[in-house]
Structure formats: C-alpha cells, structure tokens
Amino acid sequence: MPTAPPMLWKPDEQRRERANITPFTRWVREHRGVEAADYDALWRWSVTDLGGFWSAIWEYYGVTAETPYERVLADDSMPGASWFPGARLNYARHIFAGRDDDAVAIRHASELRMMGEWTWGELRERTAAIARGLRHLGVGPGDRVAAYLPNTAETAAAFYACASIGAVWSSCSPDFGVRSVVDRFAQIEPKVLLAVDGYRYGGKDFDRAGTIAELRERLPTVEHTVVLNHLRDTPVDGALSWEELESAGAGAELAFAELPFDHPLWVLYSSGTTGLPKPIVHGHGGILLEQLKNLNLHLDAQAGDRVFWYTTTGWMMWNFLVSVLLTDASIVLYDGSPAEPDLGALWDLAERGGVTVFGTSAGFLSSCMKEGVHPADGRDLSRLHAVGSTGSPLSPEGFEWCYSELGRDLWLFSTSGGTDVCSCLVGGVPTLPVYEGEIQARSLGMAVAAWDPDGNELIGEVGELVVTRPAPSMPIYFWNDPDGERLRDSYFSTYPGVWRHGDWIEITERGTAVIYGRSDSTINRGGIRMGTSEIYRAVLALEEVTDALVVDVPHGDGGSRIELFVVVREGAALDDDLTRRLARRIREDCSPRHVPDAVRAVGQVPRTLSGKILEVPVKRILAGEPAERVASRDSLADPAALDFFTRLADERSDGA
C-alpha cells in the first residue's frame, strides 16, 4: 500500500459523537438492521441498497408528503431513473417547518450594506408576501421566474416564494452580461423577470437599468419585471418596484403547493464555454432529499452553526447555501468582492457574522496563502470550526496553510461535485480524518468510482470519475431536450448506462479521493497521464507565479506541444531564471515528460463566470479553431482574457 500523506486532523471522540452522522448510523442499525461498523460500510450500504438508504433519509428527516410514495425507486436505469412515484410534496415547506419566528435565519452583508439580520418570522412574512405578489402577476406551478439578482436576503426569500407556489426558479448574477443572461433565460421562456437596479463590486458601482431594458426587449415571454432598488432609489420605467410586489401580498399566510416528486424546482446552467449553456433541471423531491442528506450528514450543519459560502447567484453554491436552511443552522450571505478592500475582507466578515462554517474556493485560499494573509491576526475567529473548499482541487500546500493559520483543531473539508447534481460526489465526513491534499470520502448515496477506458474499477490509480447507480438529484431532464439526446450525450455517451462526470479521480485504498482536473484536458506523455492540477501545484509553488494555465496543443503531424502560461506577481518577470525554475519544479514534482515546450507570461488566465479555467477552449484556439466557435465570450469572467490566445494563434497561422 502506498504511503499515506500526512494526517492533518482527526476528530476526537466528543466530536465524532456530536456529529449528525453518528445518531443517523445508530438509527439505521435499529430501524434498517444495517450494521455499519465504519463510514465505508455505511457508504457501501447506501449505494447498494438504494431503496433502503433513500427511504431512511426520508423517514429520519421527517419528509412531509400530501400523498405517500408508491415505492422508492420504480426504475433504476440511467438516464431515466424514477424516484418516489406518487409522492406529492414541496421543498419550501421543509424550509419553514417548525421554525421559531424569533430566531435568526439569515445574516447578510454586501459592499453596500452593513451586516443585517432576518429572523424566521421576517423571512416567512416576506416570502409569503412575495409569493402572493407573484400569484397576482399570474405566476403558477410550472411558470418560470428568472432572477437577475445579487446574493441578498431578498433574493433568498424570492426563491423560497417561487418554490412555495411551484414556479420554476432560475438565476444569474448581475455581473453577467446581456448576452450571457439571454443565452440562459431565453431557453426557459420566463414569465416574470426579477432584477436589481445595480450593485457594487470592488468598490465600484455598476448600474443595471440599461441592462434591464435590454433584457426585457430580448426576452419576449416576460410579462412583468420587478426591480429591487439596491444601488439607488429611482424607479425603472415600466417595471414594478420590489416594494410594490411585496405590498400586493402584504398580510398573506405562507402556503405550499403540493407537487409531484419530480416537479421542476430550478434550472441551473452548464458553463456555456461552447454553444448555449445546457439548462439543467432538478426536481423538488430530489433536491430536498439530497440536501437533507448532504447538509446534515456531510456538512454537519447543526443548531447554533452559522454557515457561510462565498458565491454569487450564478453558481450552484448559492442554491446549496440557501438550502442550508433545511437544517437547524442559519446562513450568512455576502454580495461583493472577496478582495475589497483586500483579501482579508471575507475573514472580516467571518468575524462580524460569527461564522462557524466558512466555505470558499480553493483559488481564494491559494490567493490568501500567496499574498501572506493571516486570517486570525487581529480577528476573533474563535467560533470558526470548519472550512470548506470547492471549485477546483485544493493543493496540499493549501491544506497545510489552513491548519497553520487557523489552528490544528480545524475541520478542513474539500469537496467536488457540481452543477449537474447540485451537490457533492465526494466531500467531507465529520467523523473521518483529514489527509493532506485529499478529499475525505465518497458521499453517501453516490456510487462514485474511478474507471479505466474499458470500464474496470481502479483503486489507487487515476481513472474517469463515474457514478454507477442513480441518485435523486441527478437532472430530471434538460430544458427543451424532449428526446433526452443532449442529456445522454453529456453524461452517458462514454459508458452507456453509467454517468461519466468528466473529471480524473483517484480513490485510494483508504477510501479518500483526489481530483486531478478535467479528463478532457489531461496531458498524456508516453502513456503517463498528468492532471493539470498536478502541474498547477508545482508551478504555483513558486512565489513569483500567481496563476497559471497549461494545455497540450496537437500538431498536424500527430504530435503535440505542452504550453504553459503564467501570471507573474507584480514586480516579478518571466526571465530565463524563472523559466528554468518552472521547468525544474515540474520535472521534479510531476514528470520530466511534462516539462513545457514553451512558457509565456499572460496578464490573466481566462476563466468562466464561476471561476473554472478554460483549458479546453484555449487548447482548441491554439490548434487553429476560431475563438467564437469554442467559447462564448459572455460566459467568461473577463471576455478580454481570450484575446492574447487569439492573437497568438493568428501569429502562428501567419507565420505558417
């Protein structure tokens, strides 16, 4: 057995006993006769006896249904699994069930607002008012409500209101450009547009009144527009104000439409780097069960916890965060830049909000490490006991930085999953140890494996991340994909009947997991496959480098060329010495075969709006494909980030 990396944390007996998963395991033994001596045994039962496991989640967390289900899993084929047929329920009912009106549900802040609070009573009252206001606008079950809104308490209430009446929610962050928004919302033909007049990011104000006018023009199905005045008090012509929407529903009692288990809850979108973003539809029941499981047993959210995750409304982590109110924890929302006025901003928020679970991206943690941020210096973070990381693999150095800066009693959990399931395929388990650079385990109910090209399972080796059994939060369908062709092509074309996720993963002999990046951007040299994350780890270890992108560009002669692009720190330069050190680091840390053929400095690395590096589109541009064919510029955080690569490709073409 290979040597395990350093163990950075191990829960003591008191922490294991307190974790939500501990009484659940006892309940399963008592009520299902399952003797799970450890987490691995519990996981294996959860992916073997799907009916037993998911009915246990239903029963243990007291899911309420107007009509009972006929069976748990009527059809276990993928795609096409049929979960809990006959059941009628409502996701939002479970958000508000049994709440103390005087307890705090949401803490919220932005670059425009100081920290504020909404109690459960206020959240219920305002959700009910928005729901009745939407009904007055003609919104009913199945109608789409498109939200162009920031990460605020009002936005959360609007989502719960839509869910309560059976309307289908879909959101984009207001930093999305018009084309990106239209590319998404036009596909679902929304009836109502909820929008914000503007927002502040990085200390700058961004007016969105003109954008709203363009959206109304280019979304012909929109019958009503409601504007939240966030930046200023002036009304937007031809639109209802948020106050008018709520006033129309003032005094309403919060009611819940009872809906089929797979009634659409929301529409999320793929990154849209090529073609139109895929509109991914999840159902009320599937998301309810998945998030009851994930947020209670894996996130371990409990009474007294204040859960924060840095996100915008354009990323599935926002949907994840607002679902935390299915647990006994409260949530902390923030809208603004994580680096305004500096990279200590979110740590300041954690102190002000009394955050106990701090969620962020691996990129943010790496930036803090690079820039010498010391979160605990001058801040009281004594309530903070867990840090979550997602979005990309967190390097071993990032793990060690968190423990050295935030204390050895910290539970650091890295996760990976995504928009497709709106949850984690692999992630945290509060009763397991944390090993440097590794994700703790495969998530309950997720039959995750690493496969070779022939469909053989691999342990201790890197393979394709697959899911071999269905899960309730898999997409019920893609919008406007009546025959399911786009869905099948997205997940089931490589291994028929088995979900291929598109990541390289290793499942270790200890049951932990390591993600090595996207499988379609892996670099293969002489049969040695290297995930891009491994190269980034080596490159970013150099103090002068703040960001990087590596691609393997094919040539017409059948060969290829590894090209590395780096962003260097202010005051540094990509000179011969740094180039040599980059090559040496990759040679020693990765493989001599993966030393780049060329290294170039760039001003920035192109990323999607959700922060993912555009490795494959850049590779295709450098291989000679037109940029407009391989990437939608409006899906990028900064569309100008591709210009360097387009010019480079043009220069090569002219030189040829």
* pLDDT(639) > 90: no
486 with 278: CB under 8 angstroms?
Answer: yes
* pLDDT(111) > 70: yes
Confidence of residue 1 (pLDDT cuts 50, 70, 90): low
Q: Residue 274: what pLDDT?
A: 55
* pLDDT(272) > 60: no
CA–CA dist 578, 563 (Å, integer)? 15
Q: Residue 295: what pLDDT?
A: 98
pLDDT digits (tens, 9 = 90+) for 369-386: 989 999 999 999 999 999
Helix residue ranges, H only, 371-418? 396-406
Q: Residue 317: what pLDDT?
A: 94
CATH of 521-655, one of 3.40.50.720, 4.10.520.10, 3.40.50.880, 3.30.300.30: 3.30.300.30
Q: Residue 556: what pLDDT?
A: 58
Q: Residue 564: what pLDDT?
A: 97
Q: At a CB cut-off of 8 Å and minimum separation 6, what does 117 contact?
A: 104, 106, 107, 108
- What is the number of residues in the chain? 656
| 14-31 mean pLDDT | 98
CA–CA dist 87, 67 (Å, integer)? 5
- C-alpha distances (whole Å) from 656 to each of 4, 509, 565, 651 are 49, 50, 22, 9
pLDDT, averaged across the chain: 93
Please tell me the pTM assigned to this model: 0.88
* pLDDT(609) > 80: no
| 13-25 mean pLDDT | 98
Extents of the domains making up the chain: 104-257, 521-655
Summary count for the chain: helices (H), strands (E): 21, 36
| 415-436 mean pLDDT | 96
Q: Residue 591: what pLDDT?
A: 77
Q: Residue 273: what pLDDT?
A: 55
464 with 450: CB under 8 angstroms?
Answer: yes
570 exposure class (CB count in 10 Å sphere: 0-12, 13-18, 19+): exposed
Residue among 167, 174, 161 at smallest CA distance from 145: 167
- C-alpha distances (whole Å) from 83 to each of 51, 77, 79, 462 are 9, 11, 12, 32
Q: Residue 401: what pLDDT?
A: 96
- Edge-to-edge strand ranges of the sheet holding 448-451: 457-458, 448-451, 462-467, 499-507, 513-518
Q: Residue 652: what pLDDT?
A: 83
Q: At a CB cut-off of 8 Å and minimum separation 6, what does 483 contact?
A: none
CA–CA dist 370, 425 (Å, integer)? 29
207: left (phi over 0), alpha (psi -120 to 50) or beta: beta
Confidence of residue 588 (pLDDT cuts 50, 70, 90): confident
pLDDT digits (tens, 9 = 90+) for 478-518: 999 999 999 999 999 999 999 999 888 999 999 999 998 77
Q: Residue 527: what pLDDT?
A: 56
| 548-563 mean pLDDT | 81
pLDDT digits (tens, 9 = 90+) for 124-151: 999 999 999 999 999 999 999 999 999 9
Structure tokens at 539: 């490159």
Of 354 and 275, the structure prediction assigns the larger pLDDT to 354
85 with 504: CB under 8 angstroms?
Answer: no
Q: Which residues pair with 170 in a beta bridge?
A: 146
CATH fold of 104-257: Rossmann fold (3.40.50)
* pLDDT(304) > 80: yes
pLDDT digits (tens, 9 = 90+) for 339-370: 999 999 999 999 999 999 999 988 899 889 98
CA–CA dist 341, 200 (Å, integer)? 12
| 290-310 mean pLDDT | 98
